């Protein structure tokens, strides 16, 4: 094995190329990338068999006893019940000698009782894409311009009633009320709510015009409500939880603040290996490997320079290297750093927002956190470089 390689534990498998929704912010369909149009609409039995062979080889070579496949799209439930059964059965047959686990990310608008029975029989854990309340979900329309919220909620409830829901993925709408969004999503009692930044980079910004909130204002509003509401304490909030972990441990476990290798690779409907899917807002750089399960092992793909970029971290620019919290944010989400002729060698487009949330979360930790004084001092010393007035109200006598 190449010494630069890292071990993955899952594949994001594009089982269909199109989607039944037309979300305005979608990196797959509405951010300048049209590669899905040249892909097969559905994954074939041939690709399933070849991919199963590659997964088996990879797992045995790396002494892995289990592996996860996350069905993705497009919208994977466009397969229908019969197609879903075909894919899951085919993967089970093709991956030999490995404890194969399944997940799926769906907009839930096509969930039926027949599909629920299939998902239950294969123990598929399902993530649902929903941006919050009806108003927050206004960008998630179908191809006829009709809202999708009520259909998604109906499907989500059916999944939840059958203990299939693993979590909710929400792209932040900067015109939405963060308190209402948190309350709406938390009402479904998911184990995790994963908030995603609006996708974009320096050359392809996420949106034009003014919004009700900046990203940091929105996340701080969501954070304050989350930590103040005791019944939400068991719900993990992606980005928010990840930022706290980064502050306390000087290292993140999240793609939003990428200090650890990504544990998955993407496979398209034609069997092509791909890099991080959200890099479609960038173009082909970092994503198109020109390798496929038809002619290459998974390890070959992981040794590609674009995958090594993810696993080893893109080089931080001078501005980031000089920042006191670089060990917390690690430059921010990789796609948001691209542009200006420098590739990924830029601060994130959300650099200012990242600093603001880390300052706010640090202040909350210092005032509420029960941890050693040496860690409090470490946090204060870092954040004071960003804002030397932020801790003026904290009693210095509380620190030994």
**DSSP symbols for 213-257:** S-HHHHHHHHHHHHHH-GGGTTSEEETHHHHHHHHHHSS--BTTB
Residue 89 lies in a domain: yes
Do both 279 and 366 map to the same domain? no
Q: Which pTM does this prediction carry?
A: 0.91
Residue 2 inside a domain? The answer is no
**198 and 65 in one domain?**
yes
Show which of 273, 295, 312 is a domain's final residue. Answer: 312
| Bridge partners of residue 274, in order along the sequence | 266, 288
Q: What does the pLDDT read at residue 286?
A: 47
Structural domain count, the chain: 2
Task: Say if residue 356 is in the same domain as residue 256.
Answer: no
Examine the domain organization and report whether 290 and 337 are in the same domain. Answer: no
Contacts of 217 (CB under 8 A, 6+ apart): none
Q: What is the reported pLDDT for 374? A: 87
The pLDDT of residue 203 is: 86
pLDDT of residue 2: 45
Asked whether residue 4 is domain-assigned, the answer is: no
Domain limit, last residue, from 273, 292, 312 = 312
Whether residues 164 and 290 fall in one domain? yes
Residues 274 and 331 in one domain: no
Give the DSSP letter of residue 21. B
Same domain, 279 and 326: no
- Strand order from edge to edge, sheet including 165-171: 236-238, 192-196, 165-171, 125-129, 99-106, 66-72, 10-14, 264-267, 272-274, 288-292
Residues 245 and 117 in one domain: yes
Per-residue model confidence (pLDDT) at position 325: 92
Residue 91: Cβ within 10 Å count: 23
Is the residue at 3 inside a domain?
no
Is residue 219 situated within a structural domain?
A: yes
First to last CA, the chain: 50
pLDDT number for residue 283: 54
Q: What sign for the dihedral angle of Cα 86, 90, 91, 97?
A: positive
Question: Does 184 reside within a domain?
Answer: yes
Structural domain including 323 reads 318-391
Q: Could you tell me if 282 and 372 lie in one domain?
A: no
Same domain assignment for residues 122 and 185: yes
The answer to whether position 1 is within a domain reads: no
Same domain for 137 and 175, yes or no, is yes
Q: Is the dihedral of CA 78, 81, 82, 85 positive or negative?
A: positive
Same domain, 129 and 213: yes
Residues 6+ apart with CB under 8 A from 80: none
Q: Please list the ranges in the chain whose pLDDT falls under 70.
A: 1-5, 27-36, 208-209, 259-261, 276-287, 309-314, 369, 388-400
Instruction: Tell me how crowded residue 295 is: count the other CB atoms within 10 A of its CB.
Output: 10
- Cβ–Cβ under 8 Å, residues 90 and 68: no
Is 195 part of a structural domain of the chain?
A: yes
What pLDDT does 1 receive? 41
Instruction: Indicate the residue among 296, 312, 328 that finishes a domain.
Output: 312
């Amino acid at each position: 094995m190449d010494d630069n390689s890292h071990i993955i534990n899952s594949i994001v498998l594009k089982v269909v190329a199109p989607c039944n929704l037309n979300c305005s912010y979608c990196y797959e369909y509405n951010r300048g990338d049209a590669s899905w149009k040249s892909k097969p609409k559905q994954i074939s039995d041939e690709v399933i068999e070849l991919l199963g062979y590659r997964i088996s080889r990879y797992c045995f070579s790396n002494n892995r006893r289990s592996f996860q496949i996350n069905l993705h799209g497009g919208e994977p439930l466009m397969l229908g019940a019969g197609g879903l059964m075909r894919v899951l059965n085919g993967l089970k047959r093709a991956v030999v000698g490995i404890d194969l686990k399944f997940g799926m990310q769906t907009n839930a608008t096509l969930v039926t009782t027949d599909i629920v029975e299939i998902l239950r029989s294969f123990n598929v854990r399902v993530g649902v894409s929903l941006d919050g309340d009806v108003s927050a979900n206004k960008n998630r329309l179908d191809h006829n311009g009709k809202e999708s919220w009520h259909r998604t909620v109906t499907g989500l409830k059916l999944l939840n009633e059958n203990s299939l829901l693993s979590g909710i993925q929400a792209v932040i709408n900067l015109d939405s009320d963060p308190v209402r969004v948190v309350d709406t999503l938390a009402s479904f009692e998911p184990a995790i709510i994963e908030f995603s930044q609006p996708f974009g980079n320096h050359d392809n910004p996420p949106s034009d015009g003014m919004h009700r909130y900046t990203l940091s204002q929105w996340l701080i509003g969501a954070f304050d409500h989350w930590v103040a509401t005791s019944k939400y304490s068991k719900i993990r909030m992606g980005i928010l939880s990840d930022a706290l972990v980064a502050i306390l441990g000087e290292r993140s476990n999240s793609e939003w603040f990428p200090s650890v290798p990504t544990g998955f690779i993407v496979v398209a409907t034609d069997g092509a290996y791909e890099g991080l899917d959200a890099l479609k807002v960038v173009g082909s750089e970092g994503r198109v490997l020109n390798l496929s399960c038809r002619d290459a092992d998974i390890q070959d793909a992981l040794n590609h320079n674009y995958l090594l970029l993810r696993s080893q971290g893109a080089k931080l620019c001078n501005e980031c290297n000089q920042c006191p919290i670089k060990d917390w944010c690690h430059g921010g989400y990789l796609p948001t750093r691209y542009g200006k002729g420098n590739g990924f060698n830029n601060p994130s487009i959300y650099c200012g927002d990242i600093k603001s949330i880390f300052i706010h979360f640090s202040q909350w930790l210092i005032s509420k956190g029960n941890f050693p004084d040496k860690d409090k001092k470490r946090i204060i010393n870092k954040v004071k470089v960003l804002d030397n007035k932020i801790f003026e109200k904290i009693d210095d006598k509380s620190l030994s």
